[in-house]
Structure 1
């Protein structure tokens, strides 16, 4: 990317920022009339170079009229979550996510430690922000670097965004998930960078004895009217002595931005394609030897007998040890370890679900539903029942973890979305104090929710302890497919009543195999003020209520979650509940429109509660030429979803002339996610969501056969290949409409629904089980 253009003059017509001495609590800062609901204070940390932190206050759910502009910033806790039968649900009022969503709850939980996000300007002129989140290919490091470069008026190439090790001091502020990273980091990162820029300008003004408001910043340097120039690196030490800057330390107004909103390639792209980017499997930790594990024949089975004599005698084999999850083989190379693993003679005890297959699980899900409230005899109605299969996360980089466990300490390297909880769990497992366990967060090659869990790291630590040496553990694709975590299977019952052209009630009953949320989310929600025990909610129900909202006026809506506890490893898969709940809703919207004799887009548009949603829907319908004539066996489909402060609509065209070999031939996408930091990155996220939708609706899922996962690799887990992807994809990003919303999970429900609806229209069928070709 070319360097950013010249920044604004250093002086602005605002009152200079008033800061206390280093180490003292910051005083309240005047708030501009057009500021949003976040307020930031910056202060210096004791350091030889310029090191600035930002502290935030967030009025998460308080109405604007109740906020005092000059009051000290204090986190406002959201109301305790209501149970599923809350009056707001039964009266058809907005659901909880319309008031405070999951991302906002996580923002509140992170507020007490937001000031620990630190930006440093080094003497080498590098702007370094240690990121307390995980980079898994979503481009977060690029997005954060753009925010720093924008407010600092630095070259993007001068910004470094390394990943932070586990930091227990951050409490609930080091969790990567719920499309929350940009929403949470947007203001603190910009606040810290703006504060650093103000101090650099002040340092230059003092050096040159010039008024600070006559200086300009651009390209990582301060420039005087007479042409004198000082790079940020040479000013860093002097800037560290500035307590009260001579110019405002507030982020730029949108009209002055030159980096944010500009399509930008990833800052790590060259490193990725040249192999310089290091994943866990690339790290050369001294003494860490290749390790693989032989695993049970069924889910959560246990070892019955072992004969390892043949394996131990094979070339390169260093050790064979047993752990609760299987038998680990350590060798000089992975090839040797895999061959020795295959030479083990093992027998296994069956796991706790060895008697179950897909039909048994579907039966349990169907039996778990609460009855509908509206009897079918009282009005006209449309019923729908939908099955969704288990789905593996299948990140391209298989799970890898390095562990070096000693008697009095442990050091772990892996891609962790929840490193603090991982550190706590590892410490408890190893019988060590938490501060004796170091978790190094390494970039990951994809996640989609899989790396919220740290099972590979725990297993590596167990093996290292048992073998008495460092190990580099690799889960093969078969390991993760058959013994890792999956999106739970679910069954949905929906009943919509209607009359006189209107939808009168809408009841959605979702039953899922229990989702494991044991990765720290519950503690974060409690910290944000959601008293789960008081409300009588399970963590899953709280998550469900904070994330699920029907965006349409459909009379009296109710949404209820029932869980079936089975000992199957599950986890949050991209979009979590929305990836099935909202897909069923969108299919029902098509069927209701058909029953009422209305166009599906017009039917949705007339009922969308948000004007912004109608704009998104109008945009995609216009750009995709909705309603155009198509040959027999081909059709268009539409899907809409709003969540995490964003909204998206997908329009796809499908060729289902052969219903067993359907092909999405075109996709048009429209999205409004507030302020877009990097349009290129957002387009990549929305495109990835399209591929997910094509996959899980048409062909990709996991079967359970007598307690075992049938699929083992991409050879039989039929994720979309290049031949399944549309040759034409158009993306339309709406102009900024507020602070950034979440985007990582936004597109999957809308894309999935659009594919399902297009297939139904093309084939004249009403698919009820997904993936369709399973």
Structure 2
């Protein structure tokens, strides 16, 4: 056993968390699962005559691997090879109501109690059809590799039986397999779309050959949410090579405002880009024109009430004020959409079809219908896989813009955000300010008071349907609407938890009406709150002269949390000697009914010398998701979360200056590169433990964030208070209100 792993005795038991966390009893995943349950019987699972199993997934696959995990559930219950299961993304289906929202690490969790049963019933119907055709008892038949096999060796494929099986009512007495029978679930599987991705075969939105859809880009204001006063050289831009049309995006929007700007449609994206930059536009003021990171933080700080000064009574108090810069989602695929708005001979809009990566396609399509003056059922929407999302595509900004351009210019529109547009004018996580105080008496933590202020999080996507989106936006005339505030507070209460016995604990969220483009960012509210908490836990351990690992083991409330923490401490040799400028950091986290812990080793010498961010050189991560479906997918998600934690803790953030982020490219937004990622990464997956399946996509972020921050503090001897920790403006920003000039290379001879 490594140094420093002595465990606390029962006499050191911590004071229970009071009041208990809401998430111990009910969390966002429970809400999403229950809301989706009534329409689950409408989800389409079928066997084709070609002997393949087809599942229409009513969620967005954006790289998280949910298509493969759900295909594994189907393959397990239907006794077919995984290669025989096809998962396609379902078009928008309004009858599914709440069952087409992707978010909160809830997809696999929501389907875990339903999809195996659907697949088991399908298999039973196929067996019943085979029994009738073979004139034998159903109990004598077995299923192997997509076929039903009789004792005498006769075999019928599922494809040959599918028509007959469709006429048999679903049985009522079927149950999914016992975990002891699993042959697919729990075994590492390659992603269904991996080969298509690496060979370029997989199609994303802009790959679609929608007839006559023309490339379109948008000139955006020089400040966030600025307005268009007039275009001063409209005729000259319309005369540029390849330009098809130019239009000012209108104001309005049924649920969310249509993002402002001037759109240019052209024969190629290069021509649209040139024309966008050639526009001479007189702009009106935006919403935060005079603001920068410091002024926004000052407003947030002012909104947080001061802590009460209580008598010391021999207490130990650890407190801090934390600042977090705004973040860009920065998915590999920038926002984009295709829209085809159709009109009659009199110019009246009669229909619309859209294509995009959408996390809430029902709300997107129906709100666009209202924007166009159509019935909510008059828009047909196709959900396309997206190259990353992290919550960004819960909103449908590019769909709104593409639909308006198509309407105004009279032809299908293929709209693409430039990377600078995506980072500067896309939705992101706004700045945050945290004030926290932890108090211990006689060596016991007796209270933790944590207060958080941030520009309001836009939650007007609701539960993914139009009615809840409209309700969240009500009253529409109030920027920080009562509906939006209620939903944000509900998200906070049903997502942000603490794994520790902290005595009397208080978490207070104070959203502020600072008007910016905001949206849910991976591990909404949770990652920043838990990052701060893990830093304070380390500082409290130090103040009480206790080892951070042993201190956590004494405070943790759940056996599963202790198990993952112990696993990383042992595998990572917690407490071993480290050279000067190096240190270990450790943290633990629970979220969406899953548990994770992380130990990192960090080289802070670049930060100490002022030459760059610190480097994580090693990471050991343990994760418990209750029921591991695809170990390969779990490993990928955990490592992806580590990469994001390295970025947003150490180097990635947005500098807002004069109402606009400076960053406009990956070269400016300092997301970690491959040389920022440790060569030594060990992921420990806890075995199935009889608990229900938990979430995966977001749970990996907070523990790794906390471990990195704590390692940095130990290596440098400083208290970490501002994130990211290395945050210079070491680039020349693109001019506000313009895209960078297009690099034009000569054509080869």
Is the TM-score greater than 0.5?
A: yes
SS in structure 1 at match of 2:163:
helix
Question: Which residue does 2:243 correspond to in 1?
Answer: 317
Q: Does 1:489 align with 2:437?
A: no
Partners in 2 of 1:689 and 1:112 — Cα distance? 32
Asked if the contact 2:17/2:501 (under 8 Å) is kept, the reply is no
* 1:358-377 equivalence runs, <5 A: 358-373=293-308, 375=310, 377=312
Q: CA deviation at 1:537?
A: 6.5
Q: 1:305 aligns with which of 206, 230, 255?
A: 230
Q: CA deviation at 1:525?
A: 12
Question: Which residue does 2:653 correspond to in 1?
Answer: 701
Question: Which residue does 1:380 correspond to in 2?
Answer: 316
* 1:353-752 equivalence runs, <5 A: 353-373=288-308, 375=310, 377-378=312-313, 379-406=315-342, 407-521=349-463, 538-659=486-607, 660=610, 661=612, 662-737=614-689, 738-752=691-705
Q: Does 1:221 align with 2:163?
A: no
Partners in 1 of 2:273 and 2:536 — Cα distance? 48
Partners in 1 of 2:559 and 2:16 — Cα distance? 24
* 1:297-335 Cα shifts (integer Å, max 9, x gaps): 000011233112332222111111111411111111111
Residues 91 and 599 (structure 1), Cα distance of their counterparts in 2 relative to 1, 3 Å cut: closer
Residues 357 and 316 (structure 1), Cα distance of their counterparts in 2 relative to 1, 3 Å cut: same
Partners in 1 of 2:293 and 2:82 — Cα distance? 51
Partners in 1 of 2:212 and 2:485 — Cα distance? 47
Q: CA deviation at 1:739?
A: 2.1
Q: 1:111 aligns with which of 13, 33, 37?
A: 37
Partners in 2 of 1:323 and 1:619 — Cα distance? 55
Q: CA deviation at 1:129?
A: 1.2
SS in structure 2 at match of 1:601:
helix
Q: CA deviation at 1:210?
A: 1.5
Asked if the contact 2:360/2:464 (under 8 Å) is kept, the reply is no
Q: Does 1:330 align with 2:265?
A: yes
Q: 1:289 aligns with which of 214, 217, 226?
A: 214
Partners in 2 of 1:291 and 1:154 — Cα distance? 44
* Residue segments in structure 1 that go unaligned for 5+ positions in a row: 1-88
Partners in 2 of 1:489 and 1:634 — Cα distance? 29
Partners in 1 of 2:485 and 2:567 — Cα distance? 39
Question: Over the residues paired in the alignment, what is the CA RMSD in angstroms?
Answer: 2.1
Q: Does 1:769 align with 2:717?
A: no
Residues 653 and 297 (structure 1), Cα distance of their counterparts in 2 relative to 1, 3 Å cut: same
SS in structure 2 at match of 1:434:
coil
Q: CA deviation at 1:154?
A: 0.9
* 1:240-255 equivalence runs, <5 A: 240-243=166-169, 249-255=174-180
SS in structure 1 at match of 2:230:
strand
Partners in 2 of 1:536 and 1:326 — Cα distance? 25
Asked if the contact 1:172/1:524 (under 8 Å) is kept, the reply is no
Q: CA deviation at 1:536?
A: 12
Bigger relative CO (Cα 8 Å, ≥ 6 apart): 2
Partners in 2 of 1:224 and 1:284 — Cα distance? 47
SS in structure 2 at match of 1:685:
helix
Asked if the contact 2:16/2:502 (under 8 Å) is kept, the reply is no
SS in structure 2 at match of 1:700:
coil
Asked if the contact 1:197/1:249 (under 8 Å) is kept, the reply is no
SS in structure 2 at match of 1:328:
strand
Q: CA deviation at 1:350?
A: 2.2
* 1:577-597 Cα shifts (integer Å, max 9, x gaps): 011000000000000000011
The alignment's TM-score, normalised by the length of structure 1, stands at 0.86
Q: Please, which moves more after superposition, 336-345 or 687-696? A: 336-345
Question: Which residue does 1:257 correspond to in 2?
Answer: 182
Q: Does 1:343 align with 2:343?
A: no
Question: Which residue does 1:272 correspond to in 2?
Answer: 197
Q: CA deviation at 1:497?
A: 0.8
* 1:661-698 Cα shifts (integer Å, max 9, x gaps): 31100110000011011110111110010011000010
Asked if the contact 1:486/1:573 (under 8 Å) is kept, the reply is yes
Count the aligned residue pairs.
683
Partners in 1 of 2:555 and 2:355 — Cα distance? 50
Asked if the contact 1:109/1:524 (under 8 Å) is kept, the reply is no
* 1:6-39 Cα shifts (integer Å, max 9, x gaps): xxxxxxxxxxxxxxxxxxxxxxxxxxxxxxxxxx
Residues 441 and 109 (structure 1), Cα distance of their counterparts in 2 relative to 1, 3 Å cut: same
Structure 1: 4+ residue segments shifted above 3 A: 376-379, 521-527, 532-537
SS in structure 2 at match of 1:573:
coil
Question: Which residue does 1:8 correspond to in 2?
Answer: none
Asked if the contact 1:109/1:525 (under 8 Å) is kept, the reply is no
The alignment's TM-score, normalised by the length of structure 2, stands at 0.89
Residues 238 and 91 (structure 1), Cα distance of their counterparts in 2 relative to 1, 3 Å cut: closer
